[in-house]
Amino acid sequence: MMTDLIFAWENWRKKWYDFEDLIVELINDYHNNKNWKKIVYFIANDLWIENVEDYNVFAEKCPKSVKDAFSDSKKPPKADAHIYYENKKTWEKIKKWISIKSSNISIQVLITNVNAFLNVCRSYEIQIPELLDIALSKFCGFGNYKPSLMLPREKITNLVQWDRDRWLVYELEKKEQDVMENFFNENQKKISEIVLKKWSWEEEYWVDYYVANKNKYSDTWIVDVELDNITNIIDRSIKLWWYITTIKWSFHLWSLTVQMKWSWKWESYHWLQFNKSWI
C-alpha cells in the first residue's frame, strides 16, 4: 500500500513537471499558435509594449531552488518559469515570473509547517494572536499538539481522524475555532498574497502571472490554459468564507483551501497544505 502511494505521488509529480516544460515550449513557439500568441500579447499589454514584434519573447524554467529570504536554506521558488521580453534595438530585457498549474481545481500551491507559516506571516507584519499556533498545530497534529500526546487513550478514538493523529476544525475548542476564523478572515488578502505570490523567497522570484489548465492534465493530456495577472487572482480570492462541517477535514477561504498535508513522510505528514481553485 505504501509503495502504491509513493508511486502515485511520483507519477503525479512527474506529470506536473512535464506540464511546466510543455508550457515553456509553447510560449517559445507562440508565433505558430494563436492561443499562445494571445497570452504573450496579454502580458505585453500589461507591460505597455505597443508592438510585440519589436521584442524577442522567450520563456525559461525557474531554478529548482532559490535562497529563502529569511534563512540560509534553499527551497523551490513560488514561480515555475519566467518570460522575457527583449528589446531588439536596445537588448534590454523585461522579465516576469509565472506560476504554472496543471489543473484549475484545487491544485496544491504551498506546503509548510505551522511554525514556518506563522514566522513568514510575522515577517510581513501580520499580528499573530494567542492560541493561533496551538489551534493550527492541533488542526494538523503538528509537533507536540497531537491527540496521542495530549489525550487519554480512551478519548483519542472519539476523534474523526484519530488515525491521522489530529483534530478536525469543529473538534477544536470554541475559542480555538474562533481565533482561526478571525485570523484568516481578517488577514485574507495578505495571506493570499503570501501563499500565491510571495512566500519567503527573494522578491525577484515573486509571481507575476498565474497559468492554470482548464482540465486535469494528468488525466486528459489536453493543454487548454487560462492566464491572469496574479493581482487579479488575489483580488478574486478575497471574500469572507469560513467553511466548517462535520464531513470536511479542511477549511476554505473563498478559492483557497487549508488542509493537513497528504503525505507519507514522518513529521511532514503533519504540515499545512494550501490548495487553490481557479475562480
Residue range 40-45: mean pLDDT, rounded: 95
For 70, the grid coordinates are 529569511
More confident residue, 4 or 114: 114
Span 222-251, average pLDDT: 77
Q: Which pLDDT belongs to residue 266?
A: 66
Q: How confident is the model at residue 17 (pLDDT cuts 50, 70, 90)?
A: low
Write the pLDDT tens digit of every residue in 67-113.
Answer: 888 877 888 888 999 999 999 999 999 999 999 988 888 788 899 99
Residue range 9-22: average pLDDT? 62
As a whole number, the mean pLDDT across the chain is 86
3 has pLDDT over 80: no
pLDDT band at 248 (very low <50, low <70, confident <90, very high): low
Of the CA atoms within 13 Å of residue 123, those in its CB half-sphere come to: 16
Per-residue pLDDT band at 279 (split at 50, 70, 90): low
* Segment holding 129, helix H or strand E: none
Would you say residue 15 has pLDDT above 60? no
Chain-centre distance for alpha carbon 177: 23
Where are the domains positioned within the chain?
2-276
Q: For residue 94, what pLDDT is reported? A: 96
* Per-residue pLDDT tens digits for 123-153: 999 999 999 999 999 999 999 999 999 999 9
- Residue 246: predicted pLDDT: 45
Contacts 24+ apart (CB under 8 A), 87-95: 87/54, 87/55, 88/54, 88/55, 88/56, 89/54, 94/47
Cell of 139: 488542526
